[in-house]
Amino acid sequence: MVRMADALALRIRMEGGMEAIELSGLEARRLARRLRRAGGPLGWLLLNRGALADEVRAFAREQARVDEAASRLEKLGAAEGWPGGRAPRCLEDLARARKRLAEAAARACLGLGASPSGALLEDLARIEAQLRGGPAVVDAPLVVEPADPSAPYAPQWQVFRSRRRTGALLTVAGPALIAVLAASASAAAAPAFIGWVIANYLWASRMGQFACPRCRQPFAEKHPLAPSRCDHCGLLRYEGDVPRRLKG
């Protein structure tokens, strides 16, 4: 009973700070799921980009207040001790949720053609910029380095493979669905065909927008569906994909 009273007193003294921390942890988990779903097959193509950009901005703007509340809570605990001898669970939950969101944000950066920075708020800013069609956020002027077969480009090539798998799925599943609808004289056959053509066009456009892992220019604007090397710096397809090659 004493422990519960102490915990309640701490919550009251924080004047809504603990609630802000708890809510931010929940929002971080929700946004991470949203980014992971958007990165699935055709996810970025069918996404309401404006709505997701607004969500990313709203979350990022709230983090300064959340950080202030977390710092204040930690100072209280360090000065007076925690009720029951353990820090409030909301701090642990927030740290875990932010870590998962940072991982999802880094993958989303790659999926949208930007370079992840490794910092959560920086990557969220890059995601928002890409979603709104604005210029990518960069830390420093780009430097093109000589080819290095051991360069760690595995995450970028994973995105490239994912996009190619999306194209294979469209190639196989689209005609099969259209054939079934046509055979059954369904009125949805014609709209399905038009949708399939549009989806193929969007997919080809996404392939053409894939950024070279080394020079960050479009990898293959001339032959986006089956490129052998970068049109700009000459990086070979899958060059520097060390982890996958080690696995065989």
- Read off the pLDDT of residues 185-223 as tens digits, 9 standing for 90 and up: 888 889 899 988 898 888 888 888 888 888 888 888 777
Nearest CA to 154 out of 223, 225, 213, 73 is that of 213
| Residue range of the domain that includes 83 | 2-131
Q: Within this chain, do residues 107 and 71 fall inside the same structural domain, yes or no?
A: yes
229 DSSP β-pair partners:
236
pLDDT for 231 equals 84
Q: Is the pTM of this model over 0.85?
A: no
Residue 110 lies in a domain: yes
Indicate whether 113 pLDDT > 90: no
Let me know whether 22 and 77 are in one domain. yes
Q: Count CB atoms within 10 A of the CB of residue 26.
A: 13
- What string of H, E and C letters represents the secondary structure of 177-238? HHHHHHHCCCCCHHHHHHHHHHHHHHHHHHHHCCECCCCCCECCCCCCCCCCECCCCCCECC
Tell whether 8 and 116 lie within a shared domain. yes
Residue 22 inside a domain? The answer is yes
pLDDT in tens, 116-136: 877 888 889 988 888 887 554
Mean pLDDT, rounded, for 27-45 = 79
What is the helix (H) or strand (E) element at residue 97, kind and residue range? Answer: helix 89-111
Asked if the structure places residue 232 within a domain, the reply is yes
Residues 30, 93, 158, 213: what is their CA dihedral angle, to the nearest 10 degrees? 100
Residue 85, pLDDT > 80, answer no
Which band of pLDDT confidence, cut at 50, 70 and 90, is reported for residue 144?
A: very low
Count of the separate structural domains present in the chain: 2
State residue 29's pLDDT score: 93
**Do residues 205 and 237 share a domain?**
yes
Is 192 found in the same domain as 97? no
Note whether 52 and 91 are same-domain residues: yes
Averaged pLDDT of the chain: 79
Q: Is residue 148 part of a domain?
A: no
H-helix or E-strand spanning residue 26: helix 17-38
**What contacts 24+ positions apart, CB below 8 Å, involve 62-70?**
62/20, 62/24, 62/27, 63/24, 63/121, 65/20, 66/20, 66/21, 66/24, 66/94, 68/17, 69/14, 69/17, 69/18, 69/20, 69/21, 70/17, 70/21, 70/94
Together in a domain, 161 and 124: no
Asked, for residue 146, whether it belongs to a domain, the answer is no
Contact 55, 93 (CB under 8 A): no
- Return the higher-pLDDT residue of 91 and 13: 91
Domain boundary among 79, 100, 131: 131
